Copies of this chain bind each other. A is one copy, B any other.
Amino acid sequence: MLRVALFGCGRIGQVHARSIAGHDDAELAWVCDPVLPAAQTLAARLGGHATDNVAQVLADPDVDAVVIASPTPTHIDLLSRATLAGKPVLCEKPIDLDLARIDQCWSDIAGLRPFVMMGFNRRFDPTFTQIRRRVGAGEIGTLRALRITSRDPEPPPRAYVVSSGGIFRDMTIHDFDLARYFLGEIAEVQAFTADDGNEMLAAEGDAHQAMVLLRSRSGALCTITNSRSCVFGYDQRVEAFGDNGMLEAGNQTSSSVRASGPFGAEASDTYLRFFVERYRDAYLAEFDEFVHAVREQRQPSPGFADGRAALVLAEAAIESAATGRTVTVSPHLTDGVLT
C-alpha cells in the first residue's frame, strides 16, 4: 500500500482524499491543514492522522507520497519541502502565479531528482484520452484544428477572484494544458476577453469570458472558448478536426433520459453539474497514474515542465489581450529552463 499524505482539506482536497481512500493500492496516512478540525473531520471519515504541522508529516518515514491540494500560494513551499524530504509529489495546478518564482523553485530542486506530477485532471478524462488515442492512431488523419469549450456554471466568489491571477491563470490554464496534450508545444497566442457586464469582475480587473487562438509549432490551430458562467451547467467540450474526420467529446448528461412534452421534444437530461461530477473518473485515473508512476519509479506526466508551460501560455494570453498583438511563445521560455 502506498501511504499518502494530503495537504489541504478544501473542495479539491476532498476529491483527492476520496481518490486515495478508494484506491486499492493506496491509503490516507495524513491529512494536513492549518484548520485542524477540518483535517480531523476528513481523517475520521477516510482514514489517516490529522495535523496542522507540515514538518511532522514530511518527517514521517512511512509517508510514501504527497498530494498538494492547498491554496496556490503554498504550492511552491510544500512542493520544495516534500521534494527535499524525498517524497514524490502530486501537485494541484497552478504551480504558482509567478513565473520567476517557478523558475527559482526549479533551480532549487532540480538537483534533487524531483518527482512532481501536476494535477491537470482533464488529461485523464476518458473521453479526452480516447480522442487523443484515436487521433494518435491516425483515425482522423493529421489533426488540423482543435476546439476547446470550457464554461463554468457560475462565477467564483470575489475572494477567489482577487487572488486567482485572473481568468487565464485560474481557468484557461486547464485548456492551455489540454491544447498542449493534443497539439504539443504552442508557438503563438492571441486572446480576447470581455467582462459581459459583470460588475464584480470588472471592478477586480478580471474577465467574464475569453476567446483564445493558438497556433502549435506543428502548424495546427486551436480555439479556446471560456465563460465564467453558463446557465445550463458545466460546458466541457472538445472537437478535434483532421484531414480524415472529426472526433467530438460532447457534454455529459446526468442520465440517458430524454424528455418530450408540450414544451418541445427530445430534451436531454441536465449536464453533470461541475468538475467534481464531470471529472470524477478523471480524478480517479489521475491518482491511479500517480500511484503507478511512483511504484515504477518513472517520471510522471504531466510534470513540472507542463505546469510551467501552461502558465507561460496564460502570461502570453494576458499580454495579447492587453496589447492586441499575437504573442510568440519562444522555445526557451516554454521549456528551456527545465531541459
**A residues near B, CB below 8 A?**
126-127, 130-131, 134, 139-142, 144-145, 147, 151, 188, 190, 192, 194, 196-197, 208-209, 211, 213, 215, 219-223, 225, 227, 229-233, 241, 243-253, 255-271, 324-326
From B131, B215, B232, B256, contact of A264 by CB (8 A): B232
A259 to chain B, nearest CB (A): 5
Docked complex Cα distance between A141 and B250 (Å):
23
Q: List 12 A-B contacts (CB under 8 A).
A: A190-B326, A196-B243, A231-B262, A232-B262, A232-B265, A245-B260, A247-B257, A247-B258, A250-B256, A250-B258, A251-B265, A265-B267
Q: Which residues of B contact A211 (CB under 8 A)?
A: 145, 213, 221-223
Question: Is there contact, CB below 8 Å, between B262 and A265?
Answer: no
Question: Is there contact, CB below 8 Å, between A268 and B266?
Answer: yes
Docked complex Cα distance between A263 and B225 (Å):
23
Q: Which residues of B contact A264 (CB under 8 A)?
A: 232, 259, 267-270
Question: Is there contact, CB below 8 Å, between A262 and B250?
Answer: no
Known contacts A231-B261, A257-B131, A326-B325; A219/B245 CB under 8 A: no
Q: Which residues of B contact A194 (CB under 8 A)?
A: 144, 215, 219-221
Question: Is there contact, CB below 8 Å, between B257 and A231?
Answer: no
Docked complex Cα distance between A252 and B58 (Å):
45
From B190, B229, B248, B267, contact of A257 by CB (8 A): B248
From B126, B223, B325, contact of A325 by CB (8 A): B325
Docked complex Cα distance between A230 and B326 (Å):
27
From B151, B246, B253, B270, contact of A232 by CB (8 A): B246
Question: Is there contact, CB below 8 Å, between A246 and B260?
Answer: yes
Docked complex Cα distance between A145 and B210 (Å):
9
Docked complex Cα distance between A194 and B220 (Å):
8
Measured CB to CB, the nearest residue on chain B to A141 is: B231
Docked complex Cα distance between A244 and B231 (Å):
6
A18 to chain B, nearest CB (A): 11
A217 to chain B, nearest CB (A): 12
Question: Is there contact, CB below 8 Å, between B265 and A266?
Answer: no
From A227, A232, A243, A268, residue with most partner B Cβ within 10 Å: A232
Docked complex Cα distance between A251 and B225 (Å):
20
Question: Is there contact, CB below 8 Å, between A244 and B256?
Answer: no
Question: Is there contact, CB below 8 Å, between B220 and A247?
Answer: no
Question: Is there contact, CB below 8 Å, between A255 and B126?
Answer: yes
Q: Which residues of B contact A250 (CB under 8 A)?
A: 256-258
Docked complex Cα distance between A243 and B225 (Å):
15
Question: Is there contact, CB below 8 Å, between A196 and B219?
Answer: yes
From B209, B247, B248, contact of A144 by CB (8 A): B209
